[in-house]
Amino acid sequence: MKETIRNLKKVYSYGKEYKSCLIIQIICCIVGIAINISVPLVSAKFIVNFTDSIWNQAVFMALILLGISTVNEFKTLIIRKNTQIFRRGTVRNMQMSLGRETLRLEQSTLDSNSSGAFIQRLTNDTDKMAGMFTTGMGKLTGFLSNIGSFVTILVIDYHMFIYYLLAATILTILHYIKNEQVGKKDVEFRNQSDKVAGLTGELVRGARDIKMLFAKESFMKELDKNVKLQSEKNFEMRNIDMGFNLVIDLLKNFFEFITIVALIYLVTKDIITVAIAVALYSYRSTVLTDLMGTVSSLLEECKSFNISCNRVFDIINNKKFKKEKFGNKHINNIVGEFEFKNVVFSYDDKNTILNKLNLKIEANKTYGIVGKSGEGKTTMFNLLCKMYDTKSGFISIDGIDIKELDEESIRGNITIISQNPYIFNLSIKDNLKLVKNDITDEEIENACRLACLDNFINSLPQKYDTVVGEGGVNLSGGQRQRLAIARALVQKTKIILFDEATSALDNETQSKIQKAIDNLKDKYTIVIIAHRLSTIVNCDEIMILQNGQIIDSGTHKELLKSNKEYKRLCETEIVEK
């Protein structure tokens, strides 16, 4: 109970702006409870005192009940309306908060967990949490209304009150034990549901690759295995539920039999009249069935609510998933230089990617970095943007350790144009607005022109309002990269990192992009990772990365003379062309 109350307070903090709706809902629920308690009392009294001589009173009573029913219907309408306003607003606030906290998670945490784990929390769990204030309150109202039946029984005859209370207590204990055991299985079921949700998402997002790899059967086999396990977890949970329900239902039947025997005994001993016995018997379903059903449902709602809260607050309160940490220092006017000093890094604490790496990048110069795949070129960029933390050594921007800098000083001043940029399922214009809300149409067109994308866009029926599909599926690889370059140009960050950004471009387009990069020279700090050496021949300095270290550096002409590996790479590219 303490856990439920604690979680209710936390969830309420997300919906307190809609507290007026909640107050109206509570008032209506109190009215409903009063109606549900008073009607059985009045009805029972009328049944006991009914005679043929009070027909007029019967008609009057019927009119009163009709009026009460009408009030009850309007009360229900008001509750439903305010419930939806409160629930909708609370879910939205929780989802926005959870979304922000998810974006604060360490990249390694995101890498090691299925996307389904976060999707389920953002959608299903937040809805269940807000639902406790709506459906949960309805069930609580029903429970309190059932208590009215007990009050009625107590007023009529205390013997049956004691008996019903004892029977109800036994059934309540069984329901409590059932919900505890079902709850444990529910946690396992939801965790497996996260995996299925993740695989389902990959089926949609990766459909093209699954087809091209001719991996439909193997992927469906993997999906089927996880769906089957999900079904098994659900079946285990339902088995426990069904087993307890069987015992509970058998006990209910037994208690109903005892009820008949007890009432007959009380009538034969002249303790109660037949009329009172009929009234008391009519309450058996309320106290032994409706009440227990309400209690069970409320307990299940509380258990489900607490499970959802734990899953969501594990992310929000940093209990289970690690968050990124930034410093407090802020760079107002960045120069644009950075340095790696004795940096060591490994993704798995086993295979070292960077091994005491040292390099210094000066502001407003253009650098190229070459090396074999797996040498750690992309890793360098990830570390500079603090997507991961170094194992040892330090990285500085403008002479300040990035561990001391705030997020804006790092990511607000660096743009990475990657080999496989993620393009959002928005229009071309909205993809660019993501990085600058107040961007003008003129700025958008200029950026796309510099990225050699304007001719393609103008050939589309909807031009800049064309929706590109999830991941930019409606664009070619080269078009996606050029859109990413345009996005970077819109940001106008001081440091621009190109991670194989021209790898999917044809020679003619690459030449145009190269010209765009040249236009940025001397204004920005530019670092280019490239396998196609033609992209970096004009760099102020080229560095060769090998075994996690910079083994040589110089201009294109200098390296051709001094470094055999660089010369071999150049000759290989010429042959391939």
Q: What is the pLDDT of residues 156-194, one digit of tens each?
A: 788 888 888 888 888 878 877 887 888 788 888 888 887
Nearest to 26 by CA among 143, 147, 134, 151: 134
Q: What is the pLDDT of residue 342?
A: 92
How far, in Å, CA of 333 to CA of 411, rounded?
A: 14
Give the contacts of 100 (CB within 8 A, at least 6 positions apart).
none
Q: Is the pLDDT of residue 36 over 70?
A: no
Strands (E), 390-488: 392-397, 400-401, 414-417
CB atoms within 10 A of CB 422: 10
How far, in Å, CA of 227 to CA of 233, rounded?
A: 10
Q: Is the pLDDT of residue 261 over 70?
A: yes
CATH number for 420-492 (one of 3.40.30.10, 3.40.50.720, 3.40.190.10, 3.40.50.300): it is 3.40.50.300
Contact 334, 413 (CB under 8 A): yes
Q: What is the pLDDT of residue 576?
A: 40
Q: What is the pLDDT of residue 40?
A: 56
What single-letter amino acid sits at 92?
Answer: R
Give the contacts of 349 (CB within 8 A, at least 6 positions apart).
391
Residue 416 pairs in a beta bridge with: 497
319-364 pLDDT, tens digit per residue, is 677 888 888 999 988 898 999 999 999 887 788 888 889 999 999 9
Contact 98, 127 (CB under 8 A): no
pLDDT-derived band at 577 (thresholds 50, 70, 90) equals very low
Q: What is the pLDDT of residue 575?
A: 37
Asked if the 2-182+251-316 domain carries CATH number 3.20.20.70, the reply is no
pLDDT-derived band at 11 (thresholds 50, 70, 90) equals confident
% residues pLDDT > 90 (the chain): 5
pLDDT-derived band at 98 (thresholds 50, 70, 90) equals confident
Contact 490, 518 (CB under 8 A): no
Q: What is the mean pLDDT of the chain?
A: 79
Dihedral angle sign, alpha carbons of residues 551, 552, 556, 557 = negative
What pTM was estimated for this model as a whole? 0.66
CB atoms within 10 A of CB 180: 12
CB atoms within 10 A of CB 114: 17
Q: Is the pLDDT of residue 61 over 80?
A: no
62-89 pLDDT, tens digit per residue, is 676 677 777 777 777 787 777 778 888 8
Q: Is the pLDDT of residue 52 over 60?
A: no
Backbone angles phi, psi at 354, to 5 degrees: -110, 130
Secondary structure class of 403 (helix, strand, coil): coil
From its phi and psi, is residue 159 left (phi > 0), alpha (psi between -120 and 50) or beta?
Answer: alpha
pLDDT-derived band at 557 (thresholds 50, 70, 90) equals confident
Q: Both ends of the chain: CA-CA distance in Å?
A: 72
Place of tokens 């009432």: 263
How far, in Å, CA of 316 to CA of 418, rounded?
A: 30
Domain assignments of the chain as residue spans, ordered by start: 2-182+251-316, 420-492
429-466 pLDDT, tens digit per residue, is 888 888 877 888 888 888 888 878 888 888 888 888 88
**Residues in the chain, how many?**
577
Sheet with 352-361: strands ordered across: 352-361, 338-346, 392-397, 400-401
Q: How far is CA 440 from the centre of its chain?
A: 32
- The highest-confidence range among 20-34, 274-288, 377-391, by mean pLDDT, is 377-391
What single-letter amino acid sits at 184?
Answer: K
Residue 550 pairs in a beta bridge with: 545
Dihedral angle sign, alpha carbons of residues 513, 518, 519, 520 = positive
Taking CA atoms, 467 is separated from 279, 302, 476, 478, 482, in Å, by 68, 43, 14, 17, 16
